[in-house]
């Protein structure tokens, strides 16, 4: 089944949103391509939203199990509906109140860190580093990419106005800081653009536990 079809019984907005995300946001292709090189095993999808990335990984056989965490219960209900029949679970959690993350081979943080205040980002990143036995993938807005960064902040703020549930803040931290935190905790980190075909400033941090085969 095509991943978007799994959302056919969800709201009209979600059906369009998921279809557009899967078709246009390069993060899905980029992360699925990485998983094709090295299977992701047990995944925790932190701030999973409607869960389309975890659902795509499971459906492609590139992950064994996935747990989606998010504070937005409506999105989790739709994610669970789309993931029916796959090894997919969801759990409601507010990372500001509880930044803990269960152990997993792979921890995904896609477009969520910059929605938190800096202290909450630090706590969640620390949890991710403790939880991930193999790798952490972070997609974030790089605040130091000139015009791209201004445009991306503007788009994020506009989304917040139109969709109040989109996240309370837009506070991207320097990529150098994210990298330093992960390196201090034993990860080798590569940073690659994740904005293909857009004017956005999104980058992907690929953090692997040092010593893993294929680490860079």
Ligand X SMILES: C[S@@+](CC[C@H](N)C(=O)[O-])C[C@H]1O[C@@H](n2cnc3c(N)ncnc32)[C@H](O)[C@@H]1O
Binding site for ligand X (CB under 6 A): 47-49, 53, 70-72, 75, 93-96, 110-112, 115-116, 167
Q: What angle do CA 41, 47, 51 make, to 5 degrees?
A: 65
CB 33 → ligand X: shortest distance, Å? 16
Q: What residues contact residue 58 under an 8 Å CB cut-off, 6+ apart?
A: 65, 66, 83, 86, 87, 88
CB 111 → ligand X: shortest distance, Å? 4
Question: Dihedral (C-alpha) 72, 77, 82, 83: value to the nearest 10 degrees?
Answer: 90
Calpha distance 210→176 (Å, rounded): 18
Which is nearer to ligand X, 84 or 92 (by Cβ)?
A: 92
Which is nearer to ligand X, 28 or 148 (by Cβ)?
A: 28
Closest by CA to 208, choosing from 153, 138, 161, is 138
The encoded tokens of residue 55 equal 């659902």
Which is nearer to ligand X, 94 or 180 (by Cβ)?
A: 94
Q: What is the number of the residue whose Cβ is closest to ligand X?
A: 49
* β-pair type (65-70, 42-46): parallel
Which is nearer to ligand X, 188 or 206 (by Cβ)?
A: 206
Which is nearer to ligand X, 26 or 188 (by Cβ)?
A: 26
CB 108 → ligand X: shortest distance, Å? 7
CB 180 → ligand X: shortest distance, Å? 23
CB 211 → ligand X: shortest distance, Å? 28
């Amino acid at each position: 089944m095509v991943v978007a079809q799994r959302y056919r019984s969800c709201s009209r907005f979600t059906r369009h949103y998921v279809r557009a995300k899967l078709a246009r946001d390069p993060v899905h292709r980029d992360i699925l391509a990485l998983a094709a090189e090295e299977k992701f095993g047990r995944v925790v999808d932190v701030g999973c939203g409607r869960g389309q990335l975890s659902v795509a990984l499971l459906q492609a056989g590139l992950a064994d199990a996935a747990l989606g965490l998010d504070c937005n219960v409506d999105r989790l209900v739709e994610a669970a509906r789309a993931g029916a029949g796959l090894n997919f679970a969801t759990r409601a959690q507010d990372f500001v109140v509880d930044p803990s993350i269960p152990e997993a081979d792979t921890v995904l943080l896609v477009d969520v860190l910059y929605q938190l205040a800096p202290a909450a980002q630090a706590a969640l990143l620390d949890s991710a580093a403790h939880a991930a036995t193999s790798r952490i993938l972070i997609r974030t807005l790089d605040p130091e990419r000139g015009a791209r960064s201004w445009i991306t902040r503007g788009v994020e703020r506009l989304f917040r106005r139109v969709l109040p549930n989109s996240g309370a803040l837009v506070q991207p931290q320097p990529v150098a800081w994210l990298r330093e935190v992960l390196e201090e905790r034993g990860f080798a980190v590569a940073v690659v653009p994740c904005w293909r075909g857009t004017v956005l400033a999104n980058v992907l941090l690929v953090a692997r536990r040092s010593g893993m085969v294929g680490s860079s």
